[in-house]
Structure formats: C-alpha cells, structure tokens
C-alpha cells in the first residue's frame, strides 16, 4: 500500500510547483481563519464583562476623587486615564444576561461616571451648562448603545424602574444636585443604597429648607421638574418626601422651589 502524503507534504509539493489555484485557495482559507479568529476575539471581549470587576474599579475611583459630595475635577483631569478606562468599559459592556438589579446598579454608576468624565474632559469649566449639549445632545456609548445623559436617565432608569429615589443618586455635576456618593452602587445593595442616599439628601437642611416660623418649605427644582416621578399612586410630592424625613413637613406648610445653582460641584 502506498502511503498518502500528509497535508504538510501536499502543501510543500503544491507550493514548490507554483500551482496558482492552490495558492489562491490557501490565501482564501487564511483570510477565513483570520476573520473567524477576529470574530471570536470580539465576542470574548463583549461576553467577558465582569460586573463585580467593573463595580470594584468604579468604587475605587469614587473613593479616590469624591469627598463630601464634591468631585476633585482637577485631580481627575491630571489622571484622566482613570476615568477614561471606566468610560470605555461602560461602552463595551454587555447586559444581555444581567438581572434587573445589575442593570439598575450599572446604569446609576454609568451615569455618574460619564458626568465626571465629561466635566474632566472639558475642565476647567464653571458649570456643566458651559458645555454645549452636555445633557441632551452629546452621545455616549453605554452597553453598546449611543445615548445622551438625558436618554440614559430616562430610558434606562426612570422609565423602566419608576423609582423617584433615582433622582437622589444621579448627580449632574451642579451644586444644587444631591450630594454625590463616594462609592459605587452594587446589585446586592442597590435598594438599600438608594434609600440611604435619599434619606441623607431629604434630611439635609441645606437641601430641603424648612422655616417653621413662616410655615414654609423650599424644595430643590427637581421636585418641580420631575414631580410626576414623586407622585406614585396619586400621592403628593410632600408625602413622598416625608416618608424619608425624620422631622415631617406639615401638609399645611407652603411649598416653593428655590433657584437651581448650576455651579460646578467642584472640590477646591
């Protein structure tokens, strides 16, 4: 019996004989292999997202640059790669297999990090309003979708979760925003964290201003702009606020909304 030449031997014979059809076939096969490998690599990158790893890095970032609700933007600017890496990871994330709690925590963290990244990128600025289209025009890649900050807030958080507490954790880089937490939100604790930050903000006398002698209370503008988010099941905005307050605001008090301070929440 005559042994059949191996694949390697066959290729050497073809190559040495300069058979053009075989050479073209080889090149075509190599291109196919290269394409398949590229697809596999891209798929691995998308599917290899580790929620715990991302949250750990986000948590370390917030602890490093946020203090007393304010952000050290000059330091973030100097070490821009720190926030850039998180920003890129937000864009590459795949949430197809994620739970609702994972999505909720991810999108909250994504919003706050994108805001910090966007300010640091343009820093020095005095306000997010100094950057044209900051909230409603500039788009960012978030879990594979191109979204503005307003779209991220509305479509990915407020509409699906219908949770007024979200307004107390999504921080828009302005002084009149609720104080920014110096930690990341986690799927395991996101509900507890939302309540903690809401209680903190709504009992802050500089954020909810109560004047007993005048029987009056002044609220941040978000309770006017987003009033429907704070009136579930026909309740009033005040009743929503009072459920988180230690000292309830009497229903008889006159409620107004103070002017929003868009100055940057910058840690000097």
pLDDT tens digits, 39-69: 554 444 444 468 999 999 999 999 999 999 9
Q: What is the overall mean pLDDT for the chain?
A: 89
Q: Reply yes or no: is the peptide bond before residue 39 cis, omega within 30 of 0.
A: no
Under a CB-based contact definition with an 8 Å cutoff, are residues 200 and 208 in contact? no
pLDDT tens digits, 173-216: 999 999 999 999 999 999 999 999 999 999 999 999 999 999 99
Domain ranges of the chain: 7-45, 50-257
pLDDT tens digits, 72-129: 999 999 999 999 999 999 999 999 999 999 999 999 999 999 999 999 999 999 999 9
User: 232: pLDDT confidence band, cut at 50, 70 and 90?
Assistant: confident
162-171 in b/e form (b: 16+ CB < 10 A) is: ebbbbbbbbb
What is the pTM (predicted TM-score) of this model?
0.82
What is the spatial distance between Cα 20 and Cα 162, in angstroms, rounded to a whole number?
66
Does the pLDDT of residue 11 top 70, yes or no? no
User: 9: pLDDT confidence band, cut at 50, 70 and 90?
Assistant: very low
Straight-line distance from the first to the last Cα atom of the chain, in angstroms, rounded to the nearest whole number: 87
pLDDT for 220 equals: 97
Please give the share of the chain, as a percent, with pLDDT higher than 70. 83
């Amino acid at each position: 019996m005559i042994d059949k030449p191996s694949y390697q031997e066959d290729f050497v014979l073809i190559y040495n004989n300069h058979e053009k059809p075989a050479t073209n076939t080889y090149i075509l096969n190599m291109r196919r292999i290269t394409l398949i490998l590229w697809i596999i690599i891209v798929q691995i990158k998308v599917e290899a997202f580790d929620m715990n790893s991302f949250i750990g890095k986000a948590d370390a970032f917030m602890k490093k640059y946020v203090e007393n609700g304010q952000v050290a933007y000059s330091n973030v600017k100097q070490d821009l790669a720190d926030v850039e890496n998180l920003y890129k990871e937000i864009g590459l994330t795949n949430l197809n297999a994620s739970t609702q709690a994972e999505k909720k925590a991810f999108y909250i963290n994504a919003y706050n990090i994108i805001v910090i990244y966007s300010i640091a990128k343009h820093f020095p600025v005095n306000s997010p309003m100094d950057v044209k289209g900051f909230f409603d025009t500039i788009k960012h890649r978030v879990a594979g979708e191109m979204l503005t900050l307003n779209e991220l807030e509305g479509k990915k958080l407020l509409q699906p979760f219908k949770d007024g507490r979200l307004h107390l954790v999504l921080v828009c880089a302005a002084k009149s925003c609720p104080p920014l937490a110096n930690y990341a939100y986690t799927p395991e604790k996101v509900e507890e964290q939302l309540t903690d930050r809401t209680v903190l903000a709504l009992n802050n006398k500089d954020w909810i201003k109560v004047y007993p002698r005048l029987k009056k209370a002044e609220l941040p503008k978000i309770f006017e702009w987003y009033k429907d988010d704070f009136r579930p099941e026909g309740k009033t905005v005040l009743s929503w606020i009072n459920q988180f307050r230690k000292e309830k605001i009497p229903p008889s008090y006159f409620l107004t909304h103070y002017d929003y301070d868009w100055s940057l929440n910058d840690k000097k």
